[in-house]
């Protein structure tokens, strides 16, 4: 089994509470995901502040627009201390190719990630927005588009990895949200697995949020997940 690292989804209301949490967890955690909620509230300086605490930053903005707009946005974001950035693969090959060209030119170490089907969605919801395929089928379709574009990272549920890694395992790194330790609430996630299952299925990185920052001891929660991944 290849190595798999934990990413904390830092989706919190309070900037001060988030800083306190990160200081409490300390060096047991390497990666922090900053999403739309906190990026919108606190701006680029928030990214710099969290990076200044010694964490690697996964900026999860799920960019989805015309190719030129997404490319220009990646250009702007490349000035920030980020190690990962998400774009929506449903934006199409042309959009992803444009974004990847900017990455290669300006920040080649950045792992650009194509988001496939959100883990809050199931087949019924996909059909409701006009996608006839099942979630696993749509993830396969979008993974092919990601590879075609030259993007080298994929965001998907770990439930789909068994079919993805045999085909794309040598071309992509996999980041899997919707991971819940045993006994944790599923919250609004529908296609979930445990950390150990995600790692066994071939995930390179797992994303966990509420089960960590709502735990009685977030640091112990991080340590327990790291132990499960080892």
Is residue 190 annotated as part of the catalytic site, yes or no? no
Contact 126, 135 (CB under 8 A): yes
Cα 143 to Cα 67: distance, rounded to the nearest angstrom: 18
**What is the rounded distance in angstroms from the CA atom of residue 76 to the CA atom of residue 102?**
10
Strand partners, 88: 115
d(CA 20, CA 222): 15
Helices within the chain (DSSP H only) = 15-25, 36-42, 44-52, 67-77, 93-106, 123-128, 135-149, 161-168, 195-201, 210-213, 218-229
**Given 30, 33, 62, 190, which residue is catalytic?**
62
Q: Which residues are catalytic?
A: 62
């Amino acid at each position: 089994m290849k190595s798999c690292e934990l990413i904390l989804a830092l989706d919190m209301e309070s900037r001060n509470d988030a800083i306190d949490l990160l200081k409490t967890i300390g060096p047991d955690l390497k990666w922090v995901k900053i999403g739309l909620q906190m990026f919108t509230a606190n701006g680029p300086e928030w990214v710099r502040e969290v990076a200044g605490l010694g964490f690697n930053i996964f900026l999860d903005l799920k960019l989805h627009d015309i190719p030129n707009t997404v490319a220009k946005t990646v250009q702007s974001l490349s000035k920030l201390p980020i190690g990962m950035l998400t774009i929506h693969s449903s934006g199409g090959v042309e959009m992803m190719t444009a974004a990847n060209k900017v990455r290669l030119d300006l920040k080649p170490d950045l792992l650009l990630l194509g988001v496939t089907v959100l883990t809050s969605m199931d087949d019924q919801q996909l059909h409701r927005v006009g996608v006839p395929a099942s979630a696993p089928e749509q993830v396969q379709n979008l993974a092919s588009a990601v590879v075609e574009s030259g993007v080298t990272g994929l965001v998907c549920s770990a439930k789909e990895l068994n079919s993805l890694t045999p085909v794309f395992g040598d071309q992509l790194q996999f980041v899997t949200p919707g991971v819940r330790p045993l006994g944790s609430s599923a919250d609004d996630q529908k296609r979930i697995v445990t950390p150990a299952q995600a790692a066994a299925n071939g995930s390179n990185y797992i994303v966990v949020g509420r089960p960590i920052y709502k735990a009685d001891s977030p640091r112990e929660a991080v340590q327990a997940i790291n132990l499960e991944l080892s």
